Amino acid sequence: MKIFIWNSVECLTDNKHNGGGCAVVANDLEAARAALLETPGVLYCCDALYDAPDWEADVESDEIKVFIFPDAGCC
């Protein structure tokens, strides 16, 4: 599997501050984006659904995982 990381994602969640990040472990980018869409709270306008990831690497994992870091703001 691979891990795909987006450092700053506009429209990730509906939290007050925008620009959080996310990481997804999946077989490929298409599966990573599908997992993001299935994650509660992730918006359909999320940049990670359209923009290339900032970083990706091979990882050892048997399951898809999604990590959301919702805010880049001060709160």
User: Residues 11-68: pLDDT tens digits?
Assistant: 888 877 777 899 999 999 999 999 999 999 888 888 999 999 999 999 999 999 999 9
What are the tokens at 39? Answer: 């994650």
Higher-scoring residue by pLDDT: 1, 46: 1
Q: Please tell me which residue, 75 or 41, carries the higher pLDDT value.
A: 41
41-59 exposure pattern, b = at least 16 Cβ within 10 A, e = fewer = ebeeebbbbeeebeebeee
Give the pLDDT of residue 12: 84
Q: Which tops the pLDDT comparison, 13 or 4?
A: 4
Domain that holds residue 30: 2-71
Give the count of domains, the chain.
Answer: 1
Tally Cβ neighbours within 10 Å of residue 60: 6
Burial class (CB in 10 A: 0-12, 13-18, 19+), 18: middle
Q: What is the pTM of this model?
A: 0.89
Q: Where are the alpha helices (DSSP H) in 1-75?
A: 29-38
